[in-house]
Amino acid sequence: MALLEVSGLTIQFGGLRAVDDVTFHVDEGEIFAIIGPNGAGKTTVFNMLTGIYKPTAGEIKFQGRLINNMKAYEVTRLGVARTFQNIRLFGEMQVWENVVVGAHTRLRSGLFASVFKPPGTRREERAAREKAYEHLAFVGLQGWETQRARNLPYGAQRRLELARALAAEPKLILLDEPAAGMNAQETAELLELIRKLKERGITVILIEHDMKLVMGISERIVVLDHGRKIAEGTPEEVRRNEAVITAYLGAGANVGH
Amino acid sequence: MGVLGQQLLNGLVTGSAYALIALGYTMVYGVLQLINFAHGEIYMVGAFVGLLLVTVVKLPFLAALPLAMLAAALVGVTVEFVAYRPLRRSSRLAVLISAIGMSIFLQNVALWIFGPATRSFPPPFQVSVLQIGPLRTNTLALLTLGVALVMMVGLHYLVRHTKTGKAMRAVAQDRDTAALMGINVNRTIALTFLIGSSLAAAAGVMVGMLFNAVVPTMGVMPGLKGFVAAVLGGIGNIPGAMLGGIVLGLAETMGVALLSSQWRDAIAFAILILVLLYKPSGLLGARVEEKV
Amino acid sequence: MPVLDLVNEALREWINPYYYGIFLVMGINMILAMSLNLVTGFTGQLHLGHAGFMAIGAYTAGILATKGGAAFLPAVLAGGVAAAFFGFVVGLPTLRLRGDYLAIATLGFGEIVRIAILNLDITGGAFGLRGIPRLTNLPIVIIAVLLTYVILHSLIRSRVGRAFIAIREDEVAASAMGIETTRMKVTAFVLAAFFAGVAGGLYAFWFRFISPGSFGFLLSIEILSMVVLGGLGNLLGSVLGAGFITYLPELLRTSVPAVAQHRMVFYGALLVLAMIVRPNGLLGTSSEQGWLEMWLARRKAKHAARGPARLEAAAPGQDGADGRSGE
């Protein structure tokens, strides 16, 4: 069953069509990848899926609901979480606080409760912190909880972004180049983590340049080039696709191994 | 009709001064995405230097104006060097606070040196009243309009047709890419301050003579209004700043004619709130999309 | 409140009237600085019109007391509510947009308030508003300071407070976490306006006479200087910053009068210098904790087992080899 349906997605910045008539769907429980050369419009697609940019044309349906015109926070509330390509943590906050902020939509306390802290709010706070520690353990960041996020090493910051996104209890998680800047061992660990996400029943869309990772883990792939979809299919199909090879050779990269 | 025409003319003169100030805001905003709060103080510095050159050194207007512009430009570049350049990679909040600190600093240094009293700024030439049909004006007001016009045409040429202008536009588009293309970003930013500050100084000298008043706090209101004019035209947009200045000047004179002069300063802010509410990108629009 | 009166009598006996007055103004400034810190320090939005909200609070309380015969507490609270209302009116349109616009809109707002007070009849115009009874005293101000501190301190360590800080740290990421950024910014702004209004009410009932000149733009800058000195996002720092900046001119007035008179020169330089040397304010910042708490925590960490504290040494770029060795 399709969890996410994207049809005719288009966005125009000034005279430039950054994303042009892109259509694809993602099934529930699937690991799906968006690949393409630099500047192909991948992150722009993510920004539209998460309500940060408004598409100029086209439709985005999440669980059958039109989410085109929703604000970012509304989309998050429905169960879509994401990480950022250029890490965007709350640097001055502690690691566990970052994760609790991720759970913002799952917590209740409003202004009054925030100030006067009735017992229910205290319980909620405690539970949220415990839950945050669990998410941190899940991504392998136990022991780092009370550090400031900005003091974390690079690879750990990427994991923290993942833990923070998980705290939103998403049905769909969007990972924007999660392996960027990681070494081989870290990438392998990340692969394992993404598989675990799938086991938890979370649908994953990832943007990734690391072809080994993409081909090894994705069930289906859509390929963008200059804002247009040039191919879609299983890793095997995409690897053999003429248009993809041309696009990548043109960009001086190599598909596959 | 005569009354309306008279108001339009007065508004045009004030508006051209606002436009000159607005240009500095908009250019700096273009390259740094910063509201340069100290800009109004640069205008004040220009007026004071002009005043001293005319009254103490006894220079003629044609020598005093460019020298005042040069002096204020140097102050503007220094402000950029001291208060903004070290903060290139800091948060926007830090740079804004630094800017407001600079504004307060300059204004109060001027207060310390010159005292709070208003000084008169007699024009170093004979001002004669002119009657053009039903309109009454004087040579000084027309000179103000003329100076503003020359500056704006000059700026337009500079930005559109010179290498410097191209570099400024490139830095405004994307600082990092511009740097990769071999543009000296820091020098371009300094040049932007240099040009913007000299335009503000020209406005300061002209308005100082026009109202025959120079005072350390004189930069606050025109500074704010210059910013409003820049937002009105679409911040970051150079023709927008010119248009915004003129529109604001006209709106203000009309508003004063309809209401009362006591509310003059409130009109600009009412316009600001309305623009922010209904058309935050301004009359001519500007890039506001943030990169994610 | 007879108990308060008794305490007040005792304080008046004990503190000389000059210092009594200074302490009282200090307290009012502490409320102003803490509330401004909520907007600028914690939520990251530069607000340059805090004096305007204080003026609205002062005039509302003053007019209610002189023309409506209102009692002290209702008048002061009404001042807070009136300021909060204007905070909402100004904040809603401007906070939807990029942060910078708030700076200029609040600056303009402060000026409009001043112009309005000058030109309205009910405020007494340039002559000011006279005949407000002196009902504020030091114990009341101390209680107000403590309440402000406790409320804001609790707020910051909560879901809403974390949302504020997240917005300061990265607004795009905050909205991607499901935070309604505009709503949260307006909330912080309205709350801050409320406290500034209360501070204005206390001010009116202390000085008994208020005029538009008391609430100019420079006062807003003075409050900002207190916040920056004490540390952006550092609540206790605002208390100290307010105490210091209130007392400084008094201290200098006799020793170096020129400096006291031109203190704005130094505040201006302070703002620039602080941003360059310590962008989070002179006494430093923290997300949730004040510097004092940080210091205590560090001491505690030193005494406790090494564990996570050791991780602090892992430099970024080492990819946290120690950090994950326990896996």
Reported as a single tens digit per residue, the pLDDT across B51-92 is 999 999 999 999 999 999 999 999 999 999 999 999 988 888
Q: In the structure, what pLDDT confidence band is assigned to residue C292 with cuts at 50, 70 and 90?
A: low
Q: What is chain C's mean pLDDT, rounded? A: 85
Neighbours of A53 (CB within 10 A): 20
The more confidently predicted of residues C314 and B128 is B128
Average confidence (pLDDT) over C169-187: 95
Q: In the structure, what pLDDT confidence band is assigned to residue B291 with cuts at 50, 70 and 90?
A: low
Do the Cβ atoms of B41 and B192 come closer than 8 Å? no
Pair A110, A155 in one domain: yes
Q: What is the pLDDT of residue A249?
A: 66
**In chain B, which residues have their Cβ closer than 8 Å to the Cβ of A72?**
none
Distance CA A138, CA A205 (A): 19
Q: What is the pLDDT of residue C262?
A: 86
> In the predicted model, is pLDDT for residue C1 greater than 70?
no
What's the fold here for domain B17-120+139-278?
ABC transporter involved in vitamin B12 uptake, BtuC (1.10.3470)
Distance CA C213, CA C50 (A): 14
> In the predicted model, is pLDDT for residue B47 greater than 70?
yes
Q: What is the pLDDT of residue C250?
A: 84
- C177–A contact, CB cutoff 8 A: yes
Distance CA A115, CA A5 (A): 41
Are B292 and A84 in contact (CB < 8 Å)?
A: yes
Q: What is the pLDDT of residue A137?
A: 96
Write the pLDDT tens digit of every residue in C226-280: 999 898 999 999 999 999 999 988 888 888 888 888 888 998 998 899 888 877 6
Q: What is the pLDDT of residue C326?
A: 29
- B130 three-state secondary structure: strand
Residue A85 domain flag: no
Neighbours of A138 (CB within 10 A): 17
* Nearest Cα residue to A23 out of A7, A1, A40: A7
The two three-digit tokens of residue B189, written as one number:
């930013």
Write the pLDDT tens digit of every residue in C51-95: 999 999 999 999 999 999 999 999 999 999 999 999 999 898 888
Do the Cβ atoms of A163 and A83 come closer than 8 Å? no
Pair A190, A158 in one domain: no
* CA angle (B97 as vertex; B85, B105 as ends), nearest 5: 85
A216: Cα within 13 Å, side-chain hemisphere: 14
Write the pLDDT tens digit of every residue in A113-133: 999 999 999 999 999 999 999
Q: What is the pLDDT of residue C236?
A: 93
Q: In the structure, what pLDDT confidence band is assigned to residue A83 with cuts at 50, 70 and 90?
A: very high
> In the predicted model, is pLDDT for residue A235 greater than 50?
yes
- The residue in chain B having the minimum alpha-carbon distance to the alpha carbon of residue C173 is B292
Q: In the structure, what pLDDT confidence band is assigned to residue C306 with cuts at 50, 70 and 90?
A: very low
Q: What is the pLDDT of residue B275?
A: 83
Q: What is the pLDDT of residue B212?
A: 92
Q: What is the pLDDT of residue C261?
A: 84
The label of the residue with tokens 């191209």 reads B166
Neighbours of C68 (CB within 10 A): 11
**Candidates A107, A146, A147; nearest CB to C159:** A107
Strand (E) or helix (H) holding A63: none
Phi/psi for C5 (5° steps) reads -60, -40
Domain closes at, from A101, A135, A169: A169
**How large a percentage of chain A has pLDDT more than 90?**
77
Q: What is the DSSP letter of B138?
A: E
The top-level CATH class assigned to C2-310 is mainly alpha
**In chain B, which residues have their Cβ closer than 8 Å to the Cβ of C108?**
224, 228, 268-269, 272-273
Are C118 and B262 in contact (CB < 8 Å)?
A: yes
- A230 three-state secondary structure: strand
Write the pLDDT tens digit of every residue in A150-205: 999 998 999 999 999 999 999 999 999 999 888 888 899 999 999 999 999 999 99
Q: What is the pLDDT of residue C287?
A: 41
Q: What is chain B's mean pLDDT, rounded? A: 90
Q: What is the pLDDT of residue C316?
A: 37
> In the predicted model, is pLDDT for residue B6 greater than 80?
yes
Write the pLDDT tens digit of every residue in C110-120: 888 888 898 88
Handedness of CA B141, B143, B145, B148 (dihedral sign): negative
Q: Where are the beta strands (DSSP E) in chain A?
A: 2-13, 16-27, 31-35, 57-62, 65-66, 80-82, 172-176, 203-207, 220-225, 228-233
Interface-testing mutation among B267, B269, B287, with chain C (most C C-beta atoms within 10 A) = B269
Report the range of poorest mean pLDDT among A184-188, A248-252, C101-105, C238-242.
Answer: A248-252
Highest mean pLDDT pick, A222-236, B267-281, C184-198: C184-198
- Residues forming a β-bridge with B214: B119
Q: What is the DSSP letter of C306?
A: S
Pair A38, A60 in one domain: yes
Distance CA B46, CA B224 (A): 17
Pair A50, A117 in one domain: no
Write the pLDDT tens digit of every residue in C213-228: 889 888 999 999 999 9
Q: In the structure, what pLDDT confidence band is assigned to residue C298 with cuts at 50, 70 and 90?
A: low
> In the predicted model, is pLDDT for residue A238 greater than 80?
yes
- B289–A contact, CB cutoff 8 A: yes
Distance CA C240, CA C255 (A): 22
Residue A97 domain flag: yes
Pair A135, A181 in one domain: no
Pair A200, A73 in one domain: yes
- Chain B: partners with 3+ C-beta pairs within 8 Å: A, C
Q: In the structure, what pLDDT confidence band is assigned to residue C101 with cuts at 50, 70 and 90?
A: confident
Write the pLDDT tens digit of every residue in B156-211: 899 889 998 999 989 988 888 889 888 999 999 999 999 999 999 999 999 999 99
CATH number of the domain enclosing A231: 3.40.50.300
Do the Cβ atoms of C27 and C138 come closer than 8 Å? yes
Report the range of poorest mean pLDDT among A107-111, A224-228, B148-152, C99-103.
Answer: C99-103
Q: What is the pLDDT of residue A7?
A: 95
Distance CA A24, CA A42 (A): 13
**How large a percentage of chain C has pLDDT more than 90?**
59
> In the predicted model, is pLDDT for residue C152 greater than 70?
yes
Distance CA C39, CA B130 (A): 53
Domain closes at, from A133, A148, A169: A169
Domain that holds residue A241: 1-79+170-257
- The residue in chain B having the minimum alpha-carbon distance to the alpha carbon of residue A83 is B292
Are C228 and B290 in contact (CB < 8 Å)?
A: no
Q: Give me the total of CB pairs closer than 8 Å, taking one residue from chain B and one from chain C.
A: 135
Q: In the structure, what pLDDT confidence band is assigned to residue C105 with cuts at 50, 70 and 90?
A: confident
Q: What is the pLDDT of residue C97?
A: 76
Distance CA B68, CA B52 (A): 9
The two three-digit tokens of residue C88, written as one number:
């909402």
Interface-testing mutation among C275, C278, C285, with chain B (most B C-beta atoms within 10 A) = C275
Residue A9 domain flag: yes
The complex's ipTM works out to 0.91
What is the distance in angstroms between the Cα of C208 and the nearest Cα belonging to chain A?
33
Interface-testing mutation among A80, A114, A135, with chain C (most C C-beta atoms within 10 A) = A114
What is the distance in angstroms between the Cα of B112 and the nearest Cα belonging to chain C?
7
Q: Give me the total of CB pairs closer than 8 Å, taking one residue from chain A and one from chain C.
A: 150
**In chain B, which residues have their Cβ closer than 8 Å to the Cβ of A84?**
292
